[in-house]
Structure 1
Amino acid sequence: MNFSQHRYKLLAAALLALPHFAFAEIEGMTFTSVMQEQTTLTPASAMAINPVLEHSMNVYVSAGLDRKLKLYWLSSGVKLNEVNTGVIGVSDRITFQGKDFYGKQISIVAPNSQGNYTLQADLLTVDGNVIGSWSIPVTIDTQAPTANSSDLAFNYRSFGGTLASYSPMDFGQLKLTGIQDTGAGLKNVLYIVKDDVSLSLINSINAQLDLDTSTASLSSLPSEVLPSDRGWYQAGFRVFDAAGNYSDFTARSFIEKASYPLPVRSDIYDASSATWKPYTSWMTIYNNPIKVRYRRPYSETLEANGDYGWSSYGYREGDFVYNEFTVSYPTVNPYWVALTKSGIHSVNYLSDFKFTLGPGVDRSPTKQPDTVQWFSEEGGSGGERISVGKYTKVVRLRLNSEKMGYEQLAVVSGLGSCVIPIGETYCDVTINRVFESGFGYTPYSYVVYSSVNGVSDGRFSAQFNYWYTYWDFIAPTIESVNVTDDSITVNVYDTNTTSDWRSGMWKTEVFRLQSSLGFAISPDSWVITGTGRHRVTFKLNRLPSGRQNISFYADDTYGNRVTQSILSNYLNDTTPPVLRLQSPSGAQITNGSTINGLESLRISITDDSEANINSVVLSGGAAKDSVYVSTNNLGDGIYDLNYPRLFPSLEANETYTINITAQDTAGNASTLTSTFLYLPANLLQVGQMTTLAVNKQLQNTQNDPITSIKTGVLRTAEGQLASGAQTAFITLRSDAKINVNILGSVLQPGETKQITIIPSITGEVVIPVYSASPGVKGQASFMIDIPQITSTN
C-alpha cells in the first residue's frame, strides 16, 4: 500500500495573538413567533421580529477559526441574556440559508418585553479579549395591528355590488380604513377568503397598503381566488406589521363568480293580430316603431333563489320573465342593463334586433360619423368628446344625421335644438358653454326626431349617443417625498380621481424625475395605494453621471402639472466600487500568486460613495470546497479575512478561487475573482510514507510505530514547553482513497474529528497513523490543527 503525502499544520499561539480589528457577522436567526410560526430571518440594516418573549431563539454568527463569541441584547446600555461560546473549531462549519461558513449557532433567550434593542456579537480571542463586535438594531414587537371590521367598505365600478354581496365582474374597490400599529409599523396586506363556518383560510392574494393613510385596499378580484361559483364567505384583509404579526378584518359576504344565462331576444309584437311572435334575425316587420321583448328563466331571478339572481324583471309568464321595449328601427344606442345584487350584469343593446322593413314602412335615421361637432370662440374644434384643462368657450354645435325624406328635429338636451331640412345632413345650434374651473363630466344626449315644421310628429326618434364633456383645472398634489441613498419616493394625490364607474375620467399618469442636465426618467416602481393616490420610486443611478439639481413633476391627463425641487447639487455616482487584493503593505496580489497565510491577504475597496463588501466566497483547493468567509473591517476601506478551514496547496492544480462582491450606497455593484495557491504560514510537511495495506499499527524492532508524525518542540506564546493534554482536530481530505486511523480515531474522506494529544517531557509529539482500509491501495492526505498550545507548568 502506498500511504503517502501526510501533511499537518500547527496554528501557533503567536499567530493567534496577531492584532485584528475584527468583527463577527450575524448571518440570521430562527425562532418561534407569537403567531406560532417557525420563522427564519436574515439580517438587514435593522430588524423587526416577534419571538415568544423569554423563549430561546437561535442566532447564527460567522467568524474565523480559533475565536470565541459573546452574544447579548443591549437595552439602554444594559446587557441582557448574555451567552458565551467555546472556541470556533473546524467542526463548527454551518450551513444557513444557502451559505456555508465557520461560526456558531447560539441559543439566546429573547427579552421579556417589547421594545427597541441592539443585538450584539463580540468577537473574542481564545483568552477572552474582545477584538471586535457587530451589532444590529432590533425592534421586538409582539402586538398585531388593530382596526375595526366595521370600517370595511365596498365600492362598485359600474353597475352594482355591496359589501354584503359582490363579484369579480364589477369589482371597484374594497377598502379598510383606520388601521393602527404602535410597534414596528405596518408592512403589507393580503386580501383573504375564509370558510364561512370554520373560518379556515381558503385563499389569499396581495392587496395594497397605503402607509400615509393607514388604509388597505383591493382594486381587482381575480375569480380564481374563489373556490366555488357562489357562496357565503368571511372575506377581507390580513394586515401585517414589520415584525410579522398580523390580524384579520373580515365581513360576511356573498361572493359569486358564476355567469348567468343572458337575456334572449325572444319576441316582437304583431299589432295586426295583437300577439307576440317569435323573433328571428332579419324578419320582415310591417310597422315601425315596434315593440320587442327579452326573455329570462324565472329560476335565475333573485326572487326564486334568495341570495342571488337577476334583481328585477318586467313581468312573469310561467317559467319565464320578460322585459318589454318599443324601438324605432334601426335604433342606435339605447340599451338596458340586467343586474344582480353582486354586480354581475348584462348590457343589452336594442340595436341587436335586426329587421327587414316591409313595403312602404319608413325607417329611423342612422348615426353618422362625427354626429356632434363643436367649435370654440378660441378657434378650437372637435367631435363627440371634449376634454379641456384650460379656458374654453364653446359657441356652436353642428348636429349631423343621415339624409332623410322627412324633416328632422335635432335636440341636444339642456343646450338647444335645430331643424335638419328634408334632404340635408346637418344643422347648427348656437350655445354658450364655458369651461374655466374645477373638474367635472356632463354628457349631453343628442336625439333626432321625425318632425313637421320643427315639431316632432311622434313617429321616429333616434338617440345618437351623447356630446361628452370633461374638464379638469385642478393639478395633482405632492403629499410626501422620501430620499434615500439610492432612490427617491414621491407620494402623489389626484383629488379628482374616483373609485366608481368614472374612475378613468380624471387620472394622473405621468411622473418624472427631472435632472438639470436635461434628462428625465420615468418611475422604476409605480404603486396605486388608494383612490387617486400614487407612490412612485425612482432609482438615482439611472440619472446621468455628475452633479445636478433634481426636481419632480406629475401631470394629469388634462395637462395640469405639479412640480417640486428635491435635491440641489446632487452627485450621482454611476461607477462601481474598485476591488483590489493586496498585501498588508499595500502591494498588489496578482492572479495566480501564492498566499502564505490568509493574514497576508487584504481586500481594498475604493469608491466615490460609501461602499461595503457583501460576500466573500473561497472555493477550490485540493478538497474542491466552497465556504463563505466573514471579513474584518480594518478601516480606510481595507478588510482582512477570518480563518476558514483550508488545506494547503501542495500541487499546482490545488488553487483556490476567491470571489468578492461589493456594492456602494448608489447601488453600483462590482465583483472581483482571483485565484491563488495557499500555504499556511506555519505549515509543516511530512514526507511520503509507504506502509502495508493492513488496518493495524506496525512497529519496528524498537517498538516504535513505522508510520507516524513527529513534531519538533512545541511552545506556548510565552515560550513555555507544551505539556498536558492538547486539543487538536484532524481532517481527512475528501479525495482520500482510504480511511485513516489516528490515535484510535477512524476518519472517512472529508471527515473532521477532535483528538487529544500528550506532548513528551521535551514538548514533542509523536502521532501514530495507519490505514483503516485493509487490503485497499491508495493515497490519503490529512491535516492536523492544534488551535492553542497550552502548558501545565
Structure 2
Amino acid sequence: MKVAATKLCSIFRNAWLATAVAAASLAMSQAAHADLVKYSYVSIADGARKDVVATQGLANPSSGITFMVSGGIDRKLRIAVTRSGSQTPAFSKESGKVLGASDVITYQGKNYYAEEFASPKLPDGSYQVTTDILASTGEVVKTETLPLVIDTTGPAPGTFAPLPYTWGGPVLSGDVWKLGIASGDALTYSSFVLKDFSDTSGISKVVARVYRETGVLHKEYNVLFSEADKKASIQYRTGFFPSSDLDEVFGVEFLVTDKAGNTTTTNRQKVMFDDIGNAPTEPFGVYDPSATTTLAPGLTGFVPYVAGMAVKTNPIRLAWKIPKSNWSTYRLGGLSFTNTLGENKVVGEDAGNIYLVASLPYRAEQLNYVRFINFGSSAGNGTITYDLVLDDEAPKTPVIEKVEYYFSDKGWMIPNRVITPSELPVEITQVRYTVEKRPFAQVTSHYGTCTIPANETQCVISTSKILAKGTAGYMADIFGLRSSDGALVATRTTAQVVWNDLYYPVLSHIYNESSKILTLKIQQQKQGDYNNRLGHKSAWLEDKGGTTLNVNKKLTSSVGEYFEYEFDLKTLPEGVHDLVAGADEKLGAVSKLPLFKFDSDRTSPVVTVSKNGSDSIDTLDKISFTVADNKDPAPKILSVNLKGGPANESIALSYRKIDATTYGLEYPILFPSLSSGEVYTLTVTAQDSQLNTGVGSTTFMYKPATTGIVDAVEGVIKIPACRRNLTEKTGHS
C-alpha cells in the first residue's frame, strides 16, 4: 500500500485508535447489568409525548410504547413484555445487531449505549417487562425484570355536594345550588365534599375549578384528599368564588387524576353564591318625639339622621332606607333584619325602597341580638352602626363595667377561660357584677339575679356550676342588666368559658413499608362546635419517652371531622425509635397511639472506586467499585457515569457483578489518553432503602496496549493485519 505521508498518518492514527477500542470491547466476559431506562409514548390523556423513567411503572399510551434498554459495546439486547398470569409475551423483540459506537441515546442529559424497541398497542393491565443482555453468540449474560401497569381509563370521579347547613336558607340541591357564607365561625361547614372517587392505579391529584357565567375559567384549586377514604374537601366561604350578590350562576367541577395520568371530570354543577350584603352603613332617620313631619312613608315623627346628633329618647328608634332590590321580600339575595331588643318592622315603602324601623336601648347593638342578615348566612354584615349622643333629657342606659366568676381553683376571674382537662373538676360558686352608677335600681340576671341599689355599683349572685371530669361544655350565657322597670337594657355580652374532657381525637394509621410513609388518620368528634372553639389542632410523632421527634410531615386531607397527615419516616434522626403518634384538640384534649419501632438510617452508602493504585490503566478491568451501607445489606446502584478523555466523553455505563460486594464495568467506546489533560472521571452513585445517597469517584488516564508501524521503507508503511472491520467513532470505515 502506497500513500502520501500526511494522509498515511491520519489513516494510521484512526486505525490505531479503532484497534485499541475493539480490543477493549472484546475483553468483556462476565455478567452485565441491563437497564430498562425509560418508556416513551403518546399519552391518551392529552396527546403529549411522554418520556417516563422505567421505575415509575405506569403508562397511559394512546398507541404503542417505545422501550429504551441500555447495555454495553458488542452486546445484543432483548425485551419481552408479558401480561401478569400469562406465559406468552404480548410483545418480544431481539436486537438485530450488536451495540456499537453509533448506538448512543441521550436521556435526561446522559448518554447511553442503548436500543429502542417499539411495541404495538397493548391492552390495559399489569405486565412484567424483562430485558436481557446477550453475548454476540446469543448467550444470556444478564436478565432484569420490572413491573409495568398500562392504564388508559380515567378514574371514577365520584360525586360532590356542599356540607349541609341551615343559616340563611341556602338551597343545597337541585339544578342550581344557592349558597352563602354560612356562620362566621363555620368554615368546617362551608365546604364542598367530593366522595367515592377511585382508580386501580391510585389517585395522584384532585382539582376543583370555578367557571364564570360566561364559561370562562375563574380559578383552579388543588384539593386535599384521602385516597383511603375516597374523599376530598375544599371550603368555599372565602377566596373560592368571585365576590357575588347571588346574581351570577357559576360552574363548579372537580377533576380527578390517577397516577397513570388519566383525568376524569365530574358533572359541572351550577352554583350561585352570596358574600355581598351591602347593608346600610348608617340610619336614614331618628325618631324625635317633638317632630310632626313625615320623613318617608311610615316615618312620621322621624328626622333625618346626622352623624353626632343628639337623640331624645332611650330606647332609641332608628329607621333605615333599603332598596327593594336588596331586600329579601323582593330578591332572594337581599337582606333581612333581626332585633330581639324591641321593635322590628317594615313601616312603609315606595317605588324603589322599603323603610325599616327598630327600637333598642342606646348602645345595645351587640350582633347576637340586633343585626342585618344576608342570604345563606347567620349574619354576613355584622351589627348596626350609628354615631349618636344621648340628649340630657334622655335616661342613660345601664352599662356593665365587668362581670367576674369565682372559680374554685383560681378565685375571681373574668369569665374568658379555656379550662384544660388536667384542671378539671372546677366549680363556679359566685358571679360578681360591677356596673356604672345610675339614679335608679339595676337588676342583674346570670345564673340567678341580684339587685344593685340606686347609685351603687356592685352585687354578687350565689350559684353552683360544676364542670366535671369526663364532660365538655361551653358557657356563653348572657350577662343581663336592666333598669328595675325593665325599660332600659345594657349592651348584652356573654361569658366565654369552654372545656373538653369528652371528645378526644380518635387515631389510626397506615404504614407503607416501601416508601417509609406513615399516614396518621384522625377523627375529631364535634369538630367546629362551641363556635369553632372545639376542633383539631395538630399532630406529631414522639418516642416512647414522650420526646417529640423532628420528622417531615404534611396535611394531606381535611374533610369535616376527619384529617390525615403523612410522616416521612426517612427524615427521622438516626437511630432506633419506639414511635408513638399524637394529636391534640384546641381545648387541650390529647390522644396518643403507640406504633412500632423504626430504625432510622441517615447515613449514606459508602461507594469505593479502585483502580489498582495507578493513575494510568490499560484496561477498564482494572477498575472496580464496592458499595456498602451501615443498615441496608443491598443498596441500589443508581448510576455509573464516565466523563472526559480525548473525545470529552459523557456516557452512562452498565455494570457487572464480580462477586458479592464488588462490581466491574461494561465497556464503552473508549479512546486512549494521548496527552496529560485527557483524563477520564468515573462517578458511581448508590442509594440505600431509606433513600440516602452516596457517591464515589476516581480519575484515570487510559493507556491501553497498542501496536505500531513496521518496516517504513521508501515511503511505504506496513500496518498490522486485522481480521475485524475498524471504524471511527463516527461510524465511518
TM-score by length of 1: 0.76
Alignment of structure 1 residues 140-159 onto 2, 5 Å = 140-149=150-159, 151-155=160-164
**Cα shift at 1:449:** 1.0
Partner of 1:411: 445
Q: Indicate if the aligned counterparts of 2:274 and 2:375 stay in contact, CA closer than 8 A.
A: no
Take 1:604 and 1:435, find their aligned partners in 2: how far apart are those partners?
A: 66
Q: Indicate if the aligned counterparts of 2:503 and 2:526 stay in contact, CA closer than 8 A.
A: no
| Equivalent in 257, 262, 270 of residue 288 of structure 2 | 270
Take 1:227 and 1:133, find their aligned partners in 2: how far apart are those partners?
A: 62
Alignment of structure 1 residues 332-731 onto 2, 5 Å = 333-334=366-367, 336-341=370-375, 346-350=380-384, 352-368=385-401, 371-376=403-408, 383-389=415-421, 391-405=424-438, 406-412=440-446, 415-421=447-453, 422-437=455-470, 439-451=472-484, 456-484=485-513, 487-498=516-527, 502-514=531-543, 516=545, 520-521=549-550, 523-568=552-597, 570-583=598-611, 587=612, 593-610=615-632, 611-634=635-658, 636-679=660-703, 681=704, 711-715=719-723, 722=724, 726=725, 728-731=726-729
Partner of 2:296: none
Q: Which amino acid in the other structure matches residue 654 of structure 1? A: E
Partner of 1:772: none
Q: Which amino acid in the other structure matches residue 230 of structure 2? A: S
Q: Indicate if the aligned counterparts of 1:261 and 1:296 stay in contact, CA closer than 8 A.
A: no
**Cα shift at 1:265:** 0.9
Take 1:622 and 1:225, find their aligned partners in 2: how far apart are those partners?
A: 63
**Cα shift at 1:448:** 1.3
**Cα shift at 1:130:** 1.7
Considering only aligned residues, what root-mean-square deviation do their CA atoms show, in Å?
3.8
Q: Indicate if the aligned counterparts of 2:374 and 2:380 stay in contact, CA closer than 8 A.
A: no
Partner of 1:735: none
Gaps of at least 5 residues in structure 1 are: 690-699, 716-721, 732-751, 756-793
Q: Indicate if the aligned counterparts of 2:404 and 2:413 stay in contact, CA closer than 8 A.
A: no
Partner of 1:692: none
Take 1:470 and 1:332, find their aligned partners in 2: how far apart are those partners?
A: 28
| Equivalent in 332, 345, 352 of residue 319 of structure 1 | 352
Take 1:244 and 1:607, find their aligned partners in 2: how far apart are those partners?
A: 36
Superimposed CA distance per residue, residues 520-571 of structure 1 (whole angstroms, 9 cap, x where no aligned partner) = 3355223333223232333335444333422222232333333233223x43
Cα distance change of structure 1 residues 643 and 17 upon mapping to structure 2, 3 Å threshold:
closer
**Cα shift at 1:400:** 2.9
Q: Indicate if the aligned counterparts of 2:204 and 2:258 stay in contact, CA closer than 8 A.
A: yes
1:173 aligns with 2:191: yes
Q: How many aligned positions are there?
A: 686
Take 1:140 and 1:218, find their aligned partners in 2: how far apart are those partners?
A: 31
Take 2:274 and 2:25, find their aligned partners in 1: how far apart are those partners?
A: 72
Q: Which amino acid in the other structure matches residue 421 of structure 2? A: G
Superimposed CA distance per residue, residues 375-409 of structure 1 (whole angstroms, 9 cap, x where no aligned partner) = 13797966234444364343324243422223322
Partner of 1:779: none
Superimposed CA distance per residue, residues 258-283 of structure 1 (whole angstroms, 9 cap, x where no aligned partner) = 74544221332223214333333322
Q: Indicate if the aligned counterparts of 1:478 and 1:490 stay in contact, CA closer than 8 A.
A: no
Take 1:211 and 1:120, find their aligned partners in 2: how far apart are those partners?
A: 31
Q: Indicate if the aligned counterparts of 1:385 and 1:469 stay in contact, CA closer than 8 A.
A: yes
Q: Which amino acid in the other structure matches residue 52 of structure 2? A: T
Superimposed CA distance per residue, residues 314-369 of structure 1 (whole angstroms, 9 cap, x where no aligned partner) = 6444433454432322336235554544659633323x323222224332244435
**Cα shift at 1:638:** 2.9
Q: Indicate if the aligned counterparts of 2:337 and 2:371 stay in contact, CA closer than 8 A.
A: no
Q: Which amino acid in the other structure matches residue 376 of structure 1? A: S
Partner of 2:263: 246
**Cα shift at 1:510:** 3.7
**Cα shift at 1:578:** 1.0
Equivalent residue of 2:61, what SS? coil
| Equivalent in 83, 99, 102 of residue 91 of structure 1 | 102
Equivalent residue of 2:667, what SS? coil
**Cα shift at 1:203:** 4.5
**Cα shift at 1:73:** 1.0
Relative to structure 2, which stretch is displaced further, 635-644 or 354-363? 635-644
Superimposed CA distance per residue, residues 52-73 of structure 1 (whole angstroms, 9 cap, x where no aligned partner) = 4xx3112222332332221221
Partner of 2:206: 189
Q: Indicate if the aligned counterparts of 1:121 and 1:134 stay in contact, CA closer than 8 A.
A: yes
Take 2:390 and 2:131, find their aligned partners in 1: how far apart are those partners?
A: 92
**Cα shift at 1:121:** 1.6
Q: Which amino acid in the other structure matches residue 30 of structure 2? A: H
Equivalent residue of 1:26, what SS? strand
Relative to structure 2, which stretch is displaced further, 16-25 or 332-341? 332-341
1:281 aligns with 2:290: no
Q: Indicate if the aligned counterparts of 1:476 and 1:492 stay in contact, CA closer than 8 A.
A: no
Superimposed CA distance per residue, residues 491-532 of structure 1 (whole angstroms, 9 cap, x where no aligned partner) = 232331436894452224142232559563355223333223
Take 1:685 and 1:227, find their aligned partners in 2: how far apart are those partners?
A: 85
Equivalent residue of 1:490, what SS? strand
**Cα shift at 1:174:** 0.7
Q: Indicate if the aligned counterparts of 2:275 and 2:380 stay in contact, CA closer than 8 A.
A: no
Take 2:225 and 2:709, find their aligned partners in 1: how far apart are those partners?
A: 67
Superimposed CA distance per residue, residues 606-655 of structure 1 (whole angstroms, 9 cap, x where no aligned partner) = 11222222233333333444333344455534333333444332111122
**Cα shift at 1:483:** 4.7
1:231 aligns with 2:231: no
Equivalent residue of 1:133, what SS? strand
Take 2:409 and 2:559, find their aligned partners in 1: how far apart are those partners?
A: 39
Q: Which amino acid in the other structure matches residue 56 of structure 1? A: G
Cα distance change of structure 1 residues 616 and 17 upon mapping to structure 2, 3 Å threshold:
closer
**Cα shift at 1:209:** 1.6
Q: Which amino acid in the other structure matches residue 594 of structure 1? A: S
| Equivalent in 15, 20, 26 of residue 16 of structure 1 | 26
Equivalent residue of 2:621, what SS? helix
Q: Which amino acid in the other structure matches residue 629 of structure 2? A: D
TM-score by length of 2: 0.82
Equivalent residue of 1:29, what SS? strand
Take 1:634 and 1:213, find their aligned partners in 2: how far apart are those partners?
A: 48
Take 1:633 and 1:159, find their aligned partners in 2: how far apart are those partners?
A: 73
Q: Which amino acid in the other structure matches residue 9 of structure 1? A: A
Equivalent residue of 2:630, what SS? coil
Equivalent residue of 1:359, what SS? coil
Gaps of at least 5 residues in structure 2 are: 292-299, 339-344
Take 1:27 and 1:168, find their aligned partners in 2: how far apart are those partners?
A: 52
Take 2:531 and 2:82, find their aligned partners in 1: how far apart are those partners?
A: 55
Alignment of structure 1 residues 43-192 onto 2, 5 Å = 43=53, 45=55, 47-52=57-62, 55-75=63-83, 76=85, 77-85=87-95, 86-112=97-123, 114-149=124-159, 151-155=160-164, 163=172, 164-166=177-179, 172-181=190-199, 183-192=200-209
1:753 aligns with 2:728: no
Superimposed CA distance per residue, residues 717-764 of structure 1 (whole angstroms, 9 cap, x where no aligned partner) = xxxxx5xxx3x5423xxxxxxxxxxxxxxxxxxxx2344xxxxxxxxx
Q: Which amino acid in the other structure matches residue 210 of structure 1? A: S
Q: Indicate if the aligned counterparts of 1:234 and 1:250 stay in contact, CA closer than 8 A.
A: no
Take 2:279 and 2:448, find their aligned partners in 1: how far apart are those partners?
A: 38
Superimposed CA distance per residue, residues 58-98 of structure 1 (whole angstroms, 9 cap, x where no aligned partner) = 22223323322212212334322102223322222222244
Take 1:87 and 1:266, find their aligned partners in 2: how far apart are those partners?
A: 92
Sequence identity, in percent? Answer: 21
